[in-house]
Structure 1
Amino acid sequence: MATPQDGNTIYLTEQEAERIRSIAKERVKKCADQRGNTKEPRDKTAAHQQATGAALMADMGGAPDPDITQIQGKGGHTIPAIAVGQPYPPCTASLSDLEPIKLGHLRMETHHRGKKLLVKRESPVVTLVARSWTMVQDGDGSDAERLEICLHKSRHGEDVLESTKRFIIKEPYFTLTDEGEPTLRIDHPSDLVICYEEPKPTEDAAAAEKLATIYKTQGNAALKQQDLPLAHEKYTAGLTVARRDIVVASNPDLARDISRNRAYVNLLLGRFDEVKTDSRASLTGRDDQRSKELDSKAYFRSGSAAYSQGRYQEAKRFFTEQQRLTPVDKDAKIQLKKTQARLREEESGSYDFMKMRSSLSQARPRVDAATFINNTEVKDSAEKGRGLFATHAIASGELLMCEKAFCVVWGHEEEALTAMTYDFRDDRIRVAPVGLSKVIVQKLLNSPSEIESIVDLYGDYKGDDKDVLNNEDGTVIDVFRVHDVISRNAFGPGSQFSEGARNASTGLWIHAAYINHSCTPNVMKEYVGDLMIIRATRPIKAGEEVLHSYDASLDYDARQTALMTTWGFECNCALCAAEKADGKEVRDKRMELVGEADAFINRTPWAGAKRLVFRKAQKLAQAIDESYDEGRWKDVPRMHADNIKAWLSKASPR
């Protein structure tokens, strides 16, 4: 069994790694053997009892979780093990374009394209680390089957399967679990449509207005109780009725009032695109004082949404309009002042880093700052796809760019989750920040306008090239594509707060993701909370590509392994070419000397070092320098002795 030697490293034995591989491969083989077989009927009573018992055991923590790999060591770590690399696209069709199918017509290991399946939940929900499952029945109760949602199983803090009783599954995927049990499997959140209560149709204007008002009142009550998903559901039902012509004709302000209320709920839920849509729909445009105050609220909510998205010019327009309508409103003045500060950062790169650092804490790990990228542009890079290039000359030490993260999940936060992934495509096991994947998918569901910037980043899987982001049922996201983008583009923002391997902090910086790797970079990065700061380490010419090190290990073999495993390429820069030509024996001897030098530095203070000690340090530095072949290493940076030479430069022998 694997044993972590410290809190920041995950170790797997060959036996544990092989167990993960064998479970994944065995499932694929079983699915292939049963492909096309008709679903066998389930005993509905037995199915209900199975789920009830499993839910009880999961709640009590009395049963092993099949999702996880046990990594025994300090703290008794448990890491989810997830198979990846068998992607399939989400359904892009609308419900109205799909044909109904029954449970009894399902076939094993089949994506039932062009079909939709109506089911109702008939058992408790079993909540596991990386999935939730329950038992469902046909709409008429004639058959039962298992339904599971993998990874992306919650929305706004609520388990999706517990949010209601009725669902429609778009293009249902019928397959097997890792334990070999038949199941309907949901990977893409948009493939599961939640069926809420439908407003009762009526042609009576007074009755319709009364019904819309009831929904509005229910939404207000839910909002007062901070049940935001329920408030959103009730306001949405109210709008469905209030926007009917028969209601608009008699009470046009009812739909505006509900839209204004839903805009506030959307703001609290982080559904920023919808905030602006609802706020716009709530505007009266009238000149009386009460109407101006209501419209001022709408502009404030739109401005807050745009500010949260980092769209500061847009936020400025909304807050300016709010101030015009209500000149004495203090909120508008405060927000305008903050927005103007962000615009200055965005345009000139003028930041108060000291103030930012002083405001950070584990409770508030994110800074209020804008992104400054005016010194850079994305262009094609020779043999590297796309890259980031300097638009003008940058001096050594000068600020090149600062970028506010699109999303960071900190290790101490509830959303943090690390998993072991086995990838069928290259037979490799990797550590993956699945907690970040979950949060980013949720953020994209909330703000579909952000999707294009994410899927434009490099990933191994490109989807079906349809690029359908929305249909009449809502937002469509290919979670496999998001996973691959994050796997190739995420960064760790350093140990700014306490964390370990199981809950490492990870984030995505979209613009910085275009920076390609070099073992001899021309920039270095640091972090202030979730703000990435990139400075030049040497003069950079206008038009020169910006490069940083994805892995700064001095060990050639370890560095190449990390680059291939995590980012999928072998580096052939001048440094790597020289080290490769040296041969393993020379590299190992050099790294042995580096180890000796580092051990010397750790145990020997440089202040007041005696001549004998100083001489020993010189010999270590000299031995490392002598390991370089002068011909191969001409004009190639020789960094292995940098630490010991830095010690020597500070030491003063007696």
Structure 2
Amino acid sequence: MKLRMASSKQKSSLGAMAMSQLPPPYAPCVRPISELEKIAISDMKLETHHRGKRTALRVLTPPDRMTAVMAIVEDEQGTALLLQLYYQPDESVVPAEEIMQLGDVFILKEPFFKTATDGSYTLRVDHLGDIVRLANSDDRIPSQWSKQPPNLRQSSIDIRVQGNEAVQKKKWAEAHRLYTSAIQIAETPEDEQLARLNRSLANMRLGRPAEALSDARRCDNPSGPSEKGLFREARALYELGYFDQSLERLESLTASYLENTAAKPEIQRVKARLREQHTGFYSFRKMYRQAREMPPLIDCATFSAPVEVRASPGRGNGLFTVIPVSAGQLLLCEKAFGYAFAGEGHPETMSLLLNVATKKGVIGGQARLLTQLIQKMYHDPWAQKSYHELHHGGHGVPSVSEVDGHSVIDSFLVAQIQSINAFGAPKTSRDSISQRTAGEGGQKTVQEGKFATTGLWLLTSRINHSCVGNCRRSFIGDMQIIRAARDLEAGTELLFGYRAPQHLESYADVQRDLSSWGFRCNCELCISRKETTEEALAHRKALTKQLSKVLNGHQGTNVPAVRRILLQMEKTYPPGVPEAIRLELWDPYFALGAVLLSEGKPAECIRMIVRGMETLGFAITTTAGGKMALEVTRWGYMTDMMPWAFLHLFRAYERLAPELCVAAKKYAGIAYSILVGEEETLGDEFPQLA
């Protein structure tokens, strides 16, 4: 009763937001149970990890769930204590009663005995492999806790039938538990195969495709794979991203079982994924339709043909081009390894994660992503290996990957890797940019915000930082899209900003923000910041305030004053590098160009827009052979307003040189694709360019 009252009180005080606290890190147990010595709760010391020890525990109360799944347990001496299991699946996936049940017996390896936040004593389990649930027939269960005499135990068939009943009710965790019991006590190969075949389905529904594949492959008859076995193997391979192998199994299925109708639509789906994987051609409109669902998980394959992972001197690994690419070209379209949607309109998706060691907290999807990643690796050895290959600072990797038949997952290592490699992401970049640039284009300075939704992408995580960057990331649901932001030679390392550059930042400000990643940035923009004196930056800030008073839309702009202030601002930047980025200037130049266009001065509009682009590092040719021209000879830093800038050029050329509108539209499409990931919807956002 007290346990349930405490849970209710915390939920009511925090509203819908869950709170997780990450304690100081400690390593998981890497030794088998057989090598550990028994210890009683009465012999444990507070705030201690009892290395080399183990204790058997029996559950005395029904479980409850807050941020952990909890129940009162007792050891063999009858000493009772609260047991807390962290990083368990969501209640909607695996109910607490399926994680711990009244009477269940566990062995806790190297127990962590500590004081809870309310002052009570508890056994806290942060590593999934540190606690082992014992089957009813396990001879390691203390005799006084034995559940049933052998002659009263049910048969494998009886338990499998109960599992089938749970499947009918879509109680997948219950079905998984029952099928596992049926496997453990199966007396014939056929009974085990049938239980594994059924558990394969339960694993799929629980989001464990690697275990579903293992079960499907271990339930074949001597005469050959069964119809259900082939289909479930194919489905598991699909969810794991092995589309070629999935297609092979589906084709074997249709060849061996001619009456099967379920495989045909799956074959079409697999072939669509293979086309995406091999060619990089996607239906982005279909992606957007799928992104309307909650959570916005996209059914698409990863395309990565133009890039590969290589060593990057002084940076660890990086992502490099393997072919020459042009600005706007698709480099990578990657399905998330882990993704936790969170949004203001969905309070149930928000959570607070507090890290005791770093004394930092984050709000959003990070806590749920951490649990998701830990669960994913616990049930998929390949996922564990791939994740451990990401940069993880100085945190060591466990010396073994499996003990006692269970994966060894260091939850604190997972958290460390996540903190370095995960991205905040909008639901779609198109909607996010549209909101940031709402209103008349060119009139508003916009900055990229922080996003509550969090994801981790294995390949994209290899891209190293530059404030300027040569590629740009965008999102549609859990798909991250990387396009070249300029023309790149083969063998070029891809770089993008881990944070959006802000106006009027000092060099020290930027390096402080980047310090959590453990490096200092020496990109061209940071070099310019470093060379900017405090006096010059202060003067620039003062001029920016003056500018805001004379640049205020079509009716409130003093054009001569704006021109004068812009010339003064130009002088606050280090001399000698004409193409250097002047981050505070593009916005007012674009805004001034829009004003001049509205005043019927298209030629002056073109000059201002082009000058704004030049302050971002662009090189634009506007005359050739004495005639007007429009050619981007070098792409620069891409801002959210760049499509608007090309739209203003399009409108200006409509009046002065209509033949150049084609070029303006082409460049607007390239800029739009770099920003939002695709060009299919350009006409939707900019009807003038349709």
Give the Cα separation in 2 of the matches to 1:533 and 1:594.
34
CA contact (8 A) 2:335 2:478 kept: yes
Q: Please tell me whether residue 131 in structure 1 is matched to residue 107 in structure 2.
A: no
Q: CA offset at residue 172 of structure 1?
A: 0.5
Q: Normalization by structure 2: what TM-score?
A: 0.74
Indicate the residue corresponding to 1:282 in structure 2: 219
Q: Is the 8 A contact 2:69 2:88 kept in 1?
A: no
Q: In the alignment, is residue 411 of structure 1 matched against residue 342 of structure 2?
A: yes
2:332 to 397, 401, 406: 401
Residue number in structure 2 paired with 1:510: 458
**Match of 1:144, as an amino acid?**
A
Distance 1:163 1:324, change over 3 A: farther
Paired residues, number: 563
Which residue in 2 is equivalent to 1:147?
A: 83
Q: Secondary structure at the match of 1:282?
A: coil
How far did residue 454 of structure 1 move? 0.9
Task: Name the counterpart of 1:480.
Answer: 412
Q: Distance in 2 between matches of 1:285 and 1:208?
A: 32
Aligned pairs for 1:250-399 (under 5 A) are: 252-286=189-223, 295-363=226-294, 365-399=296-330
Residue 519 of structure 2 corresponds to residue 569 of structure 1: yes
Displacement of 1:192 in angstroms is: 1.8
| Structure 2 unpaired stretches of 5+ | 141-149, 436-448, 601-690
**Structure 1 pair 464–176 and aligned structure 2 pair: CA distance change class (3 A):** farther
Q: C-alpha offsets along residues 518-538 of structure 1, whole Å, 9 cap, x if unaligned?
A: 011101111122111111111
Partner amino acid, structure 2, of 1:460: G
Q: Give percent identity, aligned residues only.
A: 28
Question: Residues of 1 paired with 2:3 and 2:549: CA distance?
Answer: 52
- For the residues of structure 2 that align with 1:599 and 1:367, how far apart are their CA atoms? 46
For residues 155-197 of structure 1, the C-alpha deviation after alignment (integer angstroms, 9 at most, x for no partner) is 7332376445332211111222344443221111221222343
CA contact (8 A) 1:279 1:302 kept: yes
Q: Counterpart of 1:561 in structure 2: which amino acid?
A: R
Aligned to 1:542: 490
| Higher mean C-alpha displacement, 168-177 vs 93-102 | 93-102
Which residue identity is paired with 1:452? K
Among residues 183, 195, 198, which one is paired with 2:137 in the alignment?
198
Shift of 1:113: 1.7
- What whole-Å deviation, never above 9, does each CA across 1:19-64 have from its counterpart, x for those lacking one? xxxxxxxxxxxxxxxxxxxxxxxxxxxxxxxxx3242243366875
Give the match's secondary structure for 2:540.
helix
Instruction: Using the TM superposition, give the Cα deviation of residue 140 of structure 1 relative to its aligned residue in structure 2, in angstroms.
Output: 4.2
Counterpart residue identity of residue 184, structure 1: L
Instruction: Report the CA distance shift for 1:122/1:640 in structure 2 as closer, same or farther (over 3 A).
Output: same
What is the CA distance between 1:125 and its match in structure 2?
4.2
1:285 offset after TM fit, Å? 4.9
1:274 maps to a residue whose letter is: E
Whichever residue aligns with residue 587 of structure 1, its letter is L
**Inter-partner Cα distance in structure 1 for 2:151 and 2:83:** 39
Query: 2-side partners of 1:639 and 1:629: how far apart?
Result: 13
Mapped partners of 2:4, 2:153: distance in 1? 42
Question: Pairwise mapping of residues 172-183 of structure 1 onto structure 2 (< 5 A)?
Answer: 172-183=111-122
Deviation at 1:589, TM superposition (A): 4.0
Q: 1:190–1:475: 8 Å Cα contact kept in structure 2? A: yes
Residue by residue over 1:270-315, the C-alpha shift from the partner in whole angstroms, topping out at 9 and shown as x without a partner, is 221221121122222538xxxx7xx121111111111112121221
Match of 1:581 in 2: 531
Report the Cα distance in structure 2 between the residues aligned to 1:237 and 1:604, rounded to whole angstroms. Answer: 72
Aligned to 1:105: 43
Structure 1 letter corresponding to 2:496: H
Give the letter for the 2:573 counterpart: Y
Which segments of 5 or more consecutive residues in structure 1 lack a partner in the other structure? 1-51, 69-75
Change in Cα spacing, 1:310 to 1:589, as seen in structure 2 (3 Å) is farther
Q: Contact 1:57–1:63 (CA<8 Å) still a contact in 2?
A: no
- Assess if the C-alpha contact under 8 Å between 2:84 and 2:122 holds in 1: yes
CA drift at 1:431: 5.4
Checking the alignment, whether the CA contact within 8 Å between 1:116 and 1:171 is kept in structure 2 is yes
Within the candidate set 368, 371, 375, 1:438 is matched to 371
Q: Which moved more, 1:154-163 or 1:484-493?
A: 154-163
The answer as to whether partners of 2:291 and 2:427 remain within 8 angstroms in 1 is: no
- Aligned position for 2:611: none
Partners of 1:578 and 1:359 lie apart in 2 by: 43
Shift of residue 404, structure 1, vs aligned partner = 1.0
Separation of aligned partners in 1, 2:250 and 2:417: 35
User: Is the CA contact (8 Å cut-off) linking 2:200 and 2:215 kept in structure 1?
Assistant: yes
Residue of structure 2 equivalent to 1:35: none
1:74-111 Cα deviation digits (max 9, x unpaired): xx896736355x32211122223322221122122322
Q: Post-superposition shift, 1:639?
A: 2.5
Aligned to 2:162: 218
Q: Could you list the per-position Cα deviations for residues 556-601 of structure 1 after superposition, in whole angstroms to 9, with x for gaps in the alignment?
A: 3453333224x23332323212212313343344345556667877
Q: Judge conservation of contact 2:86–2:125 (CA < 8 Å) in 1.
A: yes
Q: Secondary structure at the match of 2:237?
A: helix
Residue 105 of structure 1 aligns to which amino acid in structure 2? D
Which range moves more in the overlay, 354-363 or 112-121? 354-363
Instruction: Give the 3 Å change call, closer, same or farther, for CA 188–597 of structure 1 in structure 2.
Output: farther
- How far apart are residue 645 of structure 1 and its match? 2.0
Instruction: Give the whole-Å Cα distance in 1 for the aligned partners of 2:273 and 2:371.
Output: 28
Of 106, 120, 144, which aligns to 2:58? 120
Shift of 1:634: 5.3
Aligned to 2:424: 492
In structure 2, the CA distance between the partners of 1:623 and 1:79, relative to structure 1 (3 Å rule), is: farther
Distance 1:440 1:229 in 2: 19
Determine the structure 2 residue equivalent to 1:93. 31
Asked if 1:647 corresponds to 2:602, the answer is no
Matched-pair contact (CA < 8 Å) for 1:296–1:321: no
Aligned to 1:20: none
Supply the distance in 1 between the matched residues of 2:277 and 2:114 (Cα, whole angstroms): 49
Matches within 5 A, 1:6-25: none
SS at match of 1:562: helix
Q: Structure 1 339/596 Cα, relative in aligned 2: closer, same or farther at 3 Å?
A: farther
Q: Is the 8 A contact 2:105 2:134 kept in 1?
A: yes
Alignment of 1:628 with 2:573, yes or no, is: yes
Counterpart Cα distance in 1 of 2:164 and 2:138 = 17
Residues 1:337 and 1:101: Cα distance change in structure 2 (over 3 Å): same
For the aligned residues, what is the CA RMSD? 3.3
1:437 CA drift (Å): 0.6
Query: By how many angstroms is 1:415 displaced?
Result: 7.1
3-state SS of paired residue (1:235): helix
Q: 1:241 to 1:469 in 2, by over 3 A?
A: same
Tell me if structure 1 keeps the 8 A contact 2:209–2:237. yes
Per-residue displacement from partner, 1:396-426 (whole Å, max 9, x unpaired)?
111111111112111156873442534535x
Aligned to 1:184: 123
User: Per the alignment, do residues 361 and 616 of structure 1 end up closer, same or farther by CA in structure 2, a change over 3 Å counting?
Assistant: farther
For residues 467 and 450 of structure 2, the distance between their equivalents in structure 1, rounded to whole angstroms, comes to 28
